[in-house]
Chain A
Amino acid sequence: EVQLLESGGGLVQPGGSLRLSCVASGFTFSTYAMTWVRQAPGRGLEWVSTISGISDDTYYTDSVKGRFTISRDNSKNTLYLQMNSLRAEDTAVYYCAQDSGANRPLWAPYWGQGALVTVSS
């Protein structure tokens, strides 16, 4: 059974940093791309970033480029999202998702329960 468990969310001041983690189990982690999707309170879904299975390709939405960094440690079956220079508009539940392919982002069959990030002073 595929399981994805996010951690690292919390309250951070504007301009601050936070690192989200997502521990995966139930599948061969290195053979799948992994994706972060966020959802602001009461709003829709927003694709944030994807990393290929062997970390040779990364993709970001424009609003986080230069501020967020996606990475993974295949030896630990763990996906990360380092978030710097956080803004109020980054406040959201961040979902970790397993992608259906190994490289570019496609559809996501499995999702974690999400981690809440609140950016506020």
Chain B
Amino acid sequence: DIVMTQSPDSLAVSLGERATINCKSSQSLLYSSNSKNYLAWYQQKPGQPPKLLIYWASTRESGVPDRFSGSGSGTDFTLTISSLQAEDVAVYYCQQYYSTPNAFGQGTKLEI
């Protein structure tokens, strides 16, 4: 099974500053036949279900603000929030969908 590890576990960033969350997989998520990385990012606020932010490692879901961006390939990935807003306080999860079980990272709690 693929294991997903996020860092850090928690992060405090000032309003307007950049936030960076890392995600590492135990094996490559790059599928050679289509050159796509099978990785998604989700945001979860307290008492709410997760919200999809990014898929294919860097494709922003419709309606997601462009301050959110995803990057990386193979086993190392990053979610970047370019200018932190108050409403971005949440827990962020990466998830691989290269193979089942579709494991999530343990989550990164983002605070101001």
Contacts and interface: CB of A to CB of B under 8 A. Distances in A.
B104 A46 contact: yes
Contact of A100 (B55, B103, B106): B55
Contacts, number: 56
B101 A45 contact: no
Contacts of A95: 49-50
Contact of B61 (A59, A62, A109, A113): A109
A23 to B, nearest CB: 16
22 contacts: A44-B107, A45-B44, A45-B50, A45-B104, A47-B103, A47-B104, A50-B100, A59-B100, A59-B101, A61-B100, A62-B1, A95-B50, A100-B55, A105-B97, A106-B55, A107-B55, A107-B95, A107-B97, A108-B40, A109-B61, A111-B49, A114-B49
Interface of A: 37, 44-47, 50, 59-62, 95, 100, 104-109, 111-114
Question: Which A-B residue pairs are the 10 nearest by beta carbons?
Answer: A111-B49, A107-B40, A107-B55, A47-B102, A61-B101, A45-B104, A44-B107, A59-B100, A106-B97, A109-B52
